[in-house]
Amino acid sequence: MPVFYGTEVESALLLGTAQYPSPAILAEAFRASRAGIATVSLRREQGGGQDFWALVAGLGARLLPNTAGCHTVKEAVTTAHMARELFDTRWIKLEVIGHTDTLQPDVFALLEAARILTDEGFEVFPYCTEDLTVCGRLLDAGCAVLMPWGAPIGSGRGLNNLWGLRALRAHFPEVPLVVDAGIGLPSHAAQAMELGFDAVLLNTAVAKAGDPVAMARAMALAVEAGRAACRADPMEPRDMAAPSTPVIGKAFLA
């Protein structure tokens, strides 16, 4: 099971709480997903009021508030402080958006905000790219978890840079890594786990599915399958065919 900042989480699936058709479907999808962590935006919570807070508190998952929608260091840090007071947790998923169309993180502002928040006692989960230098600087700033994107938020395109994600896993073998954003299908989630990542975070793929509950269940199974496959030490791909049936002992016709 993944361990984040010394806390073991029962599931490798992290699930967001936005955009569901109804509160009832949100709750049912979480039960089907068996997600160990629920991400929640402070702005979303304010919009839903106490009813929404009561709902997410009853999901049975640990809460990870985020700074979704923030575009500056000041805005992200202020939102993180408000989230800590409201949710009574030092955990914060740090998002500082740098590009409006792709929702790519502003890695310079992200690093600055991460330094400030870790110095102030937060346990930061930074939404970042798979860039090795950026990720190394985030670790130096005090982050003990990295959350590289698979593809742009809400795009459902899966893992756009397999080489980069593999390199990240290889360079930081002891660091908890979570693929965050871009997951659209269970096969994408399984692929991330097969690469050796510790967990997957998604939202839109479940919330916007025709049947969110069924998709949540499928994602849970995919994460489990991917993790099991990684631990099974899968075969390496080959360029040439290799017979699966041995030819030794084969009958020959005279």
For residues 3 and 190, the answer to whether their CB atoms sit within 8 Å is no
What pLDDT score was predicted for residue 110?
97
What percentage of the chain reaches a pLDDT higher than 90?
78
List the chain domain ranges. 3-232
**What is the pLDDT, as a whole number, of residue 111?**
97
Place of tokens 């304010």: 46
pLDDT at 157 over 60: yes
pLDDT tens digit string along 12-36? 999 999 999 999 999 999 999 999 9
At the topology level of CATH, where does 3-232 sit? TIM Barrel (3.20.20)
User: Binding site: which residues?
Assistant: 154, 181-182, 203-204
First vs last C-alpha separation in the chain? 58
Among 74, 93, 208, 250, the one annotated catalytic: 93
Apex 164 CA angle, 109 and 7, nearest 5: 65
Q: Which residues are annotated as a binding site for 1-deoxy-D-xylulose 5-phosphate?
A: 154, 181-182, 203-204
Q: Report pLDDT digits (tens) over 33-57.
A: 999 999 998 765 555 566 777 888 7
Answer for the pair 170, 206: CB distance below 8 angstroms, yes or no: no
pLDDT at position 43:
64
Kindly report, residue by residue over 89-145, the tens digit of the pLDDT: 999 999 999 988 888 999 999 999 999 999 999 999 999 999 999 999 999 999 999
Query: Does 201 have pLDDT greater than 60?
Result: yes
Q: How many whole angstroms separate alpha carbon 103 and alpha carbon 107?
A: 12
pLDDT of residue 158: 93
Model confidence at 67, pLDDT cuts 50, 70, 90, reads: very high
Which string of DSSP letters, residue by residue, matches 222-233? HHHHHHHHHHT-
Per-residue pLDDT tens digits for 160-181: 999 999 999 999 999 999 999 9
93 is catalytic: yes
Q: Judge whether residue 183 has pLDDT over 70.
A: yes
pLDDT of residue 254: 59
